[in-house]
């Protein structure tokens, strides 16, 4: 439960930082990289692989969806998305995995 709350807090901080500093891609990227390291400090190998897989695949899917013209980012850098987006997707992925595990534990 502690790791879930820690990761949830880091993800919420990431959301706030993106909202505050969206115009500075470099700053957001550095801050999210720090949060990504913090979120994975006590992670095992499987969690880190899960983070990377979610970061890569979710970003690819979003890039394909954005290619349809559904939405765009103001600050685009790679394949129509900002460089920090995979870091954010990875955080969201591990938080959702942890949420599932917590719910599974409490709602048996």
Cα–Cα distances (Å) from 87 to 14, 57, 59, 68, 105, in that order, read 10, 12, 9, 23, 27
pTM: 0.85
Q: pLDDT band at residue 78, thresholds of 50, 70 and 90? A: low
Residue 78 pairs in a beta bridge with 81
Q: pLDDT band at residue 98, thresholds of 50, 70 and 90? A: very high
pLDDT of res. 107 = 86
pLDDT of res. 1 = 81
Cα–Cα distances (Å) from 40 to 5, 46, 48, in that order, read 13, 11, 7
pLDDT of res. 20 = 95
Average pLDDT over residues 4-24: 93
């Amino acid at each position: 439960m502690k790791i879930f709350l820690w990761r949830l807090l880091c993800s919420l901080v990431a959301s706030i930082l993106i909202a505050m500093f969206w115009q500075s891609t470099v700053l957001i990227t550095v801050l999210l990289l720090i949060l990504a390291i913090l979120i994975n400090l006590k992670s095992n190998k499987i969690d880190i692989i899960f983070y990377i897989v979610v970061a890569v695949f979710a970003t690819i899917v979003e890039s394909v969806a954005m290619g349809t013209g559904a939405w765009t980012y103001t600050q685009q850098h790679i394949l129509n998305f900002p460089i920090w987006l995979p870091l954010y997707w990875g955080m969201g992925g591990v938080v959702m995995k942890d949420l599932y595990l917590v719910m599974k534990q409490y709602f048996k």
